[in-house]
Structure 1
Amino acid sequence: MLKHQKYVYVDIGDQKKFLKVRFLKSRSENNNPEAYVILDKISIKLPRNAKVIKYEDLPAEVKDKLKLKLSSSKK
């Protein structure tokens, strides 16, 4: 169950896999990169009321962190 939309899921485009990201609402102005905390959890099944964000919609700094996280997890 998602409580108050604390988590969002990023579509990483890898056969319906989604990366769980903690979203801090207090820092959410102007798509602030500090508002996203990347977690190590990759999900296949999503909660029914989950908010899904496309990879392209993330700020550039978050994309860079995400690339590093995904490349290290594939090794």
Structure 2
Amino acid sequence: MGVRGPDPAARHRRRFIEVISPYTPARGAAELIWGAATDHTPDPVALAAPAGWTVVAALAAAWAHRRDEGRRFT
């Protein structure tokens, strides 16, 4: 906190993190751990995000594999 009060840029960054956090794989894992360790009810969006990221990563891996196999071994 500065002389003039809280930094508005820091408040903006904190809000930005709060908005994107449920869509990251780490938040989904944290929600599962919080739910197992406490009475916290996990956010459904945060739980679905790791599944979405897994699908995206699998599609990217399949695309990269097909691209690589086609160039090296034909």
Tell me which interval the TM-score lies in, with the shorter structure as reference length: under 0.3
TM-score, structure 1 length as denominator?
0.27
Q: Which has the larger radius of gyration?
A: 2
Which structure has greater strand proportion?
A: 1
Bigger fraction of residues in helix: 2
